[in-house]
């Protein structure tokens, strides 16, 4: 019939057959048989399929599920499938959109071919929950009849997830940080994807340069964050704080089908704080203690007292407090403290950030002891031209007392010295007072001849017995720096007031010399001013000389040195300084202790204890009888001069690392193995003989090697080298302390 989509039709008289009917007598008739043909039509059946987001699925609409039926007319000449469209409307046939680029649905693209085959590619990230993409297609038979049904493809949601490890970095790992070698400013992490189909790809969406550091995101999802600068938080002394989420980086994870998710790497930054990194606090009481003797002259002692660093935040400030302590100067790397004895500087403590410290100690003179003039010298004896006061065996000098009434010529009766039990005076015109213009002089002479000038250290007196209604007297005091040259000062004094040469202000220029407190004194003259209305006598005369007793000890306890970093964190170290009055030139620092790093520990001129830490340390005791404790690690020990003790750590038995003793002196130094041997427990030697069987000192390679049986007195052990002695010859005798409660054991180097 007509090639048209006309459904089931009956085609009339499509076939015919004529025939003749003859009866028995030969009579005939003719007729025609006509054939009507009912047309056949195709029947399509709805199809379904499913696919994951971003994936592809294929099928054939003609054969999948219940196969489509084309019927007797077969397929249209170009193929059974003649059209495809989106949607679910099957009331009308569709045409076209076959093959090629396909037809774009709601969630993907369908390529349907005339032979019924198709592929459907779901878009990635197309749905958030399972959803159906609806299509309709039409099949056409050979005479144009059609059938239209649906092709529904379910797109299954794919949820790609990604987790990451937030970065935690430390400011202390920065180049200026408190632990720059620790690499704690670097964090390695990884993004962990799930839910999709691998392999995954990773893309950084934000800049790789953050606010405080840089991020490198690798192709496999691992990443490295490197902190490059500090985060300046609240300016407060709040210790080590963790500043949350101070840097952030966004990224995208894409699975093999293009499904994606995004995430953010957050960075937490741990604040660095200032710290004292090497503190010579051997007894762990939190105080660095220094002790020094009284040197004969100003002496500067150097050593390591404490080291500090401000950390990554840099310098903020440095300060110090303490009784009788003055800050002389300060900078980011140094503070200089004056330790005061009253108004005088007794010592200068200089602390440097790198531990190259010093203590300058000034000589302090002994206390002045005054020798009073004997009582007989102040009793009545009549006027005399001059008077020798014999101080007896207590001193090697006497006092020559002379007077002057101020009227020329000298040597007249008015110049006579007139003494009584009331005091010293000049005869003058009144008989027994120092009247206006009169003076009395006390000169010091060698007691062997009473003429050779002699010096004293100090002198004091009082004015008493005022006449003429005076309440105050004006006097001029002359102090002689040799036999003829003098400095002078004029004073207003009251009766009984003590006048002491060393306590007066001699800064004004006067006289013929310049007296400085501490200078030798050869004579003292007291002149009554011409303006006085009356006279006075001198009394309470005492001559001062240095005693043999040392000056008093000085203690500067609780010197607190505080370092503050750029964001306000504070670290404080306490120092105690004892300055002994005993004469000597020796500084003692309590045991100098290393850190967990590699330290260089330097002793002082005194008897020091140097304690190495966990690192590979260099210990130098310098002068004095020192104790050097190597500690863990490979250590280099130099005792310096003096009788030194080298303590070997028990760890040397197990780690097989021998300390080097650079300057062992036979007959003088000792190697202390007592703690090392004690670590052997029951195998530790307790007698000299047992020590001899457990210890050996051999010579090879230009050095002596201290060997210890690692089982001690027990069987089955092997000899382990624990120390190497350079500069020691074969045949030398080595003193070894094997037990703190026993004498030393000796081994000969063989």
Q: Can you give the pLDDT at residue 546? A: 56
Say which DSSP state 630 is in.
-
The average pLDDT across 107-112 equals: 98
Q: Which fold has domain 370-546?
A: Jelly Rolls (2.60.120)
The average pLDDT across 616-622 equals: 78
Candidate from 197-206, 218-227, 238-247, 368-377 with smallest mean pLDDT: 368-377
Contact yes or no for 660/637 (Cβ under 8 A): yes
370-546 has the same fold as 47-156: no
Distance from C-alpha of 345 to C-alpha of 366, rounded to nearest angstrom: 16
The average pLDDT across 707-721 equals: 94
Cross-strand pairs, 169:
269
Q: Can you give the pLDDT at residue 423? A: 85
Q: Can you give the pLDDT at residue 259? A: 96
What class, spelled out in words, does domain 47-156 have in CATH? mainly beta
Structure tokens at 158: 């794919």
- CB atoms < 10 A from the CB of 36, how many? 10
Q: Can you give the pLDDT at residue 302? A: 86
Candidate from 269-273, 307-311, 327-331, 375-379 with smallest mean pLDDT: 375-379
pLDDT in tens, 57-98: 999 999 999 999 998 889 999 999 999 999 999 999 999 999
- Domain range annotation of the chain: 47-156, 161-270, 370-546
pLDDT in tens, 559-569: 999 999 998 99
Q: If 0-12 CB within 10 Å is exposed, 13-18 middle and 19+ buried, where does residue 603 land?
A: buried
Q: Can you give the pLDDT at residue 417? A: 86
Say which DSSP state 652 is in.
H
The average pLDDT across 355-364 equals: 91
Asked if the model's pLDDT at residue 721 lies above 80, the reply is yes
Contact yes or no for 622/304 (Cβ under 8 A): no
Q: Can you give the pLDDT at residue 723? A: 94
The average pLDDT across 166-190 equals: 93
Structure tokens at 551: 């000056």
Asked if the model's pLDDT at residue 718 lies above 70, the reply is yes
The average pLDDT across 355-384 equals: 69
Asked if the model's pLDDT at residue 35 lies above 60, the reply is yes
- Best CATH choice for the domain 161-270 from the list 3.30.930.10, 3.40.50.970, 3.90.1150.10, 2.60.40.10: 2.60.40.10
Candidate from 207-216, 440-449, 470-479 with smallest mean pLDDT: 440-449
Q: Can you give the pLDDT at residue 413? A: 74
**By three-state DSSP, how is residue 655 classified?**
helix
Q: Can you give the pLDDT at residue 77? A: 92
More confident residue, 544 or 270: 270
pLDDT in tens, 138-176: 999 998 999 999 999 999 999 999 999 889 999 999 999
pLDDT in tens, 471-495: 999 999 999 999 999 999 999 999 9
Whole-model pTM over 0.85: no
Structure tokens at 251: 């990224």
């Amino acid at each position: 019939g007509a090639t048209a989509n006309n459904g089931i039709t009956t085609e009339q008289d499509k076939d015919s057959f004529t025939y003749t009917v003859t009866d028995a007598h030969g009579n005939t008739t003719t007729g025609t048989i006509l054939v009507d043909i009912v047309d056949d039509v195709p029947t399509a059946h709805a199809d379904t399929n499913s696919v994951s987001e971003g994936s592809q699925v294929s099928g054939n609409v003609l054969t999948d599920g219940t196969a489509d039926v084309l019927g007797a007319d077969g397929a249209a000449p170009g193929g059974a499938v003649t059209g495809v469209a989106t949607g679910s409307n099957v009331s009308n046939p569709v045409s076209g959109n076959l093959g090629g680029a396909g037809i774009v649905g709601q969630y993907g693209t369908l390529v349907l071919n005339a032979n019924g085959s198709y592929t459907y590619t779901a878009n990635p990230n197309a749905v958030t929950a399972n959803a159906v993409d609806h299509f309709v297609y039409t099949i056409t038979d050979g005479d144009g009849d059609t059938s239209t049904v649906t092709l529904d493809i379910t797109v299954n949601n794919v949820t790609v997830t990604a987790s990451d490890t937030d970065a935690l970095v430390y400011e202390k790992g920065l180049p200026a940080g408190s632990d720059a070698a620790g690499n704690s400013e670097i964090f390695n992490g990884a993004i962990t994807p799930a839910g999709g189909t691998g392999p995954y790809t990773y893309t950084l969406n934000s800049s790789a340069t953050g606010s405080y550091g840089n991020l490198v995101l690798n192709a496999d999802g691992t990443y490295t964050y490197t902190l490059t600068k500090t985060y300046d938080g609240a300016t407060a002394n709040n210790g080590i704080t963790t500043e949350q989420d101070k840097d952030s980086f966004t990224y995208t994870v894409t699975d093999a089908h293009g499904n994606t998710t995004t995430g953010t790497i957050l960075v937490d930054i741990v604040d660095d704080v200032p710290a004292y990194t090497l503190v010579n606090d051997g007894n762990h009481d939190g105080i660095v203690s220094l002790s020094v003797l009284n040197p004969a002259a100003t002496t500067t002692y150097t050593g390591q007292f404490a080291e500090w660093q401000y950390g990554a935040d840099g310098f903020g400030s440095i300060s110090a407090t303490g009784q009788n302590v003055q800050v002389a100067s300060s900078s980011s790397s140094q503070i200089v403290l004056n330790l005061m004895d009253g108004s005088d500087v007794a010592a200068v403590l200089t602390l440097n950030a790198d531990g190259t410290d010093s203590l300058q100690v000034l000589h302090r003179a002994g206390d002045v002891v005054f020798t009073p003039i004997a009582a007989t010298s102040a009793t009545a004896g009549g006027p005399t031209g001059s008077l020798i006061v014999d101080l007896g065996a207590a001193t090697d000098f006497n006092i020559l007392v002379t007077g002057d009434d101020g009227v020329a010529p000298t040597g007249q009766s008015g110049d006579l010295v007139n003494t009584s039990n009331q005091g010293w005076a000049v005869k003058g015109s009144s008989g027994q007072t120092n009247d206006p213009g009169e003076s009395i002089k006390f000169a010091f002479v060698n007691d062997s001849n009473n003429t050779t000038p002699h010096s004293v250290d100090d002198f004091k007196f009082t004015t008493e017995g005022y006449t003429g209604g005076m309440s105050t007297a004006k006097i001029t005091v002359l102090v002689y720096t040799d036999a003829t040259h003098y400095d002078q000062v004029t004073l207003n004094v009251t009766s009984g007031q003590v006048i002491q040469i060393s306590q007066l202000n001699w800064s004004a220029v006067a006289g013929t010399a310049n007296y400085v407190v501490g200078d030798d004194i050869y004579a003292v003259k007291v002149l009554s001013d011409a303006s006085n209305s009356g006279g006075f006598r001198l009394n309470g005369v005492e001559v001062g000389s240095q005693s043999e007793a040392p000056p008093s000890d000085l203690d500067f306890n609780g010197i607190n040195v505080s370092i503050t970093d750029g964001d306000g964190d504070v670290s404080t170290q306490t120092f105690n300084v004892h300055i002994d009055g005993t004469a000597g030139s020796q500084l003692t620092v309590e045991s100098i202790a290393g850190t967990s790093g590699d330290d260089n520990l330097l002793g002082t001129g005194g008897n020091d204890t140097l304690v190495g830490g966990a690192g590979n340390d260099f210990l130098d005791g310098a002068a004095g009888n020192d104790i050097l404790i190597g500690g863990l690690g490979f250590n280099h020990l130099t005792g310096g001069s003096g009788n030194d003790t080298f303590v070997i750590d028990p760890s040397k038995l197990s780690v097989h690392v021998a300390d080097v003793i650079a300057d062992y002196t036979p007959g003088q130094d000792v190697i202390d193995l007592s703690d090392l041997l004690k670590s052997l427990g029951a195998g530790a030697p307790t007698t000299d003989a047992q020590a001899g069987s457990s210890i050996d000192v051999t010579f090879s390679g230009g050095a002596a090697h201290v060997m210890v049986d690692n089982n001690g007195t027990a069987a089955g052990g092997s000899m382990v080298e624990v120390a190497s002695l350079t500069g020691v010859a074969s045949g030398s005798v080595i003193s070894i302390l094997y037990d703190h409660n026993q004498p030393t054991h000796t081994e000969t180097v063989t």
